[in-house]
Structure 1
Amino acid sequence: MSNVKIIIKKDLSELKGSTFITGFRTIGEVGYLAIRHLALKRKMERIGYVVTKYYRDVTFVDDYGIATPFDIFYDKDKHLVLLLNHILPFQREWNDFASQVIKWIKKLSINNILLVGALDKRYKVGNESLKWLKTSKCSLNLDYPQLDKQLLMVGPLALFTLHSEIEDLPALVLLPYADRERTDPVAAATAIEVLNKMLSLNVSVDELYEEAKRIEEDLQKQMELLQKELSRGSADRVYM
């Protein structure tokens, strides 16, 4: 039995046939940066949450209000569903998390699944800014080189891709090159520019380019505080 619950405060019939987008705080925090930027700039409506057995006891105020670890947003105009993962689930829950979200997506008869990750730019050999891959049921194509054979994808994004393949769902993974050692807003901007073309979004990325240093510093401070707080023993936690 799964310990992952998806709570939606909206009529599910309205979400039928939408496009689902998500990413995680992995290389360069690209997936997180891109998804959060889309949600905020499109002024999307938060419609739900993902809750797990080992739910993280951390929250903060974001531009849209109280943030939960895994917030679900909806863009009615463009018919998009976004999962914004402020933090990673516990590793022991990664598979269950991915499996349950993908099964929920399948029930919605989602049009396409778009996953945003990143590639370590140290392994970049050409001039391309991005590579991509897709599941066997996906009919989308991009004017970028596909991911090289035998290269490994690991982590929650890989599990989302695997479960999409298993469930016969159309999923495409965007992998811009990013700096592994720091937050990389420029790589997130690259992903959003591709999503703009795919989905006719016209979301500005000027802020990601112009304020890359500030964004990097702000997110680095946030992540350091989160990691410090989550690693403390119960007697040392700061409660408010």
Structure 2
Amino acid sequence: MENSKPVKIVLPEIKNPIFIEGYPGIGLVGHIAGNFLAKELNMDMIGYVESPFLPPVTLVLEGKPNPPLRFYGKDNIIVAVADIYVPPTLVNEIARELARYLKEMNAQTVVSLGGMGIGLFKEKMEVWGVGAREELNRKLEEAGVKVLQYGSIMGMSGKLLWEASREGLDAYVLLGETFGDRPDPRAAANVIEALKKIVPIEASTEPLLKEAEMIEEQLRRMHQQMEEARKKAQQQYETLYL
């Protein structure tokens, strides 16, 4: 029965959509990128996910109640964002229902955005990706994205890639390298720059880069203070036992 489905996707009919998913994950890369795109592209909330298995949470944004799993849209572009952790079983159901909707709407492209934790900082943090088919991987390479040959992609990004590929859709996952222990707007900017080479969107990532610089400066100062405190403690220790 239709009413017994654990998940309902509430979305208007949008023909030939470009669908971008930005759920929370490593470094909150997808979450930051998805919310940034919705704001930067001046999108309106156009839908949401409904399920009795979601936590009883309402988000207040700009003084208005909002569902925690929602869709923003403008023209034929849809951005999916989530502000809560989604249990794995529910991820499976949401991805399956999304893929069905996108197949029915004859989606042009489906792209999931996320992070790849590498546990270190590099001068140039790369973007990795994988497509649903070999020709899509070639398109990623042309966009300067390193194609993932082996590994696993967890959460909504991985499941949506699989479900969309089963429906024969042009689907990708883009993963920005990130240290992995903090929100990373620089990695989000990197995946958006890669996204712009795959789908026709225009969004300046300058605000994200400025935010990244602020966070990095705060971390630098914090590490400097910790190092100074460590040296002072060491000096006191050496003075005490000389």
Instruction: Please give the TM-score of this superposition, normalised by the length of structure 1.
Output: 0.78
Match of 2:5 among 2, 5, 16: 2
Answer yes or no: is 1:42 the counterpart of 2:45.
no
- Cα 1:41/1:63, change in 2 over 3 Å: farther
- Cα 1:3/1:86, change in 2 over 3 Å: same
Match of 2:83 among 74, 82, 86: 86
AA of the residue aligned to 2:191:
A
Q: Deviations over 1:78-119 (max 9, x none)?
A: x21111112232223121111111111111100010110111
AA of the residue aligned to 2:19:
F
Answer yes or no: is 1:143 the counterpart of 2:144.
yes
> Where do 1:1-240 residues align within 5 Å?
2-8=5-11, 10=12, 12=13, 15-63=14-62, 65-76=64-75, 79-122=76-119, 127=124, 129-136=126-133, 139=136, 140-141=139-140, 142-147=143-148, 149-212=149-212
> Does structure 2 retain, via aligned residues, the 8 Å contact 1:118–1:177?
yes
- Cα 1:128/1:188, change in 2 over 3 Å: closer
Report the Cα offset of residue 47 of structure 1: 1.1
Query: Structure 2: where are the runs of 5+ without partners?
Result: 217-242
Return the alpha-carbon distance in structure 2 between the equivalents of residues 153 and 36 of structure 1: 21
Q: Deviations over 1:157-178 (max 9, x none)?
A: 1111111122221101111101
Segment drifting more, 93-102 vs 82-91:
82-91
Q: Report % sequence identity.
A: 25
- Cα 1:204/1:43, change in 2 over 3 Å: same
Q: Deviations over 1:176-216 (max 9, x none)?
A: 10121111111001111222333343312222121237789
AA of the residue aligned to 2:94:
F
AA of the residue aligned to 1:146:
V
Report the Cα offset of residue 144 of structure 1: 2.2
> Does structure 2 retain, via aligned residues, the 8 Å contact 1:20–1:110?
yes
Instruction: Please give the TM-score of this superposition, normalised by the length of structure 2.
Output: 0.78
Larger-gyration structure (1/2)? 2
Q: Deviations over 1:200-236 (max 9, x none)?
A: 43312222121237789xxxxxxxxxxxxxxxxxxxx
Segment drifting more, 95-104 vs 126-135:
126-135
- Cα 1:137/1:57, change in 2 over 3 Å: farther
> Does structure 1 retain, via aligned residues, the 8 Å contact 2:158–2:173?
no
Secondary structure at 2:72's aligned position in 1?
strand
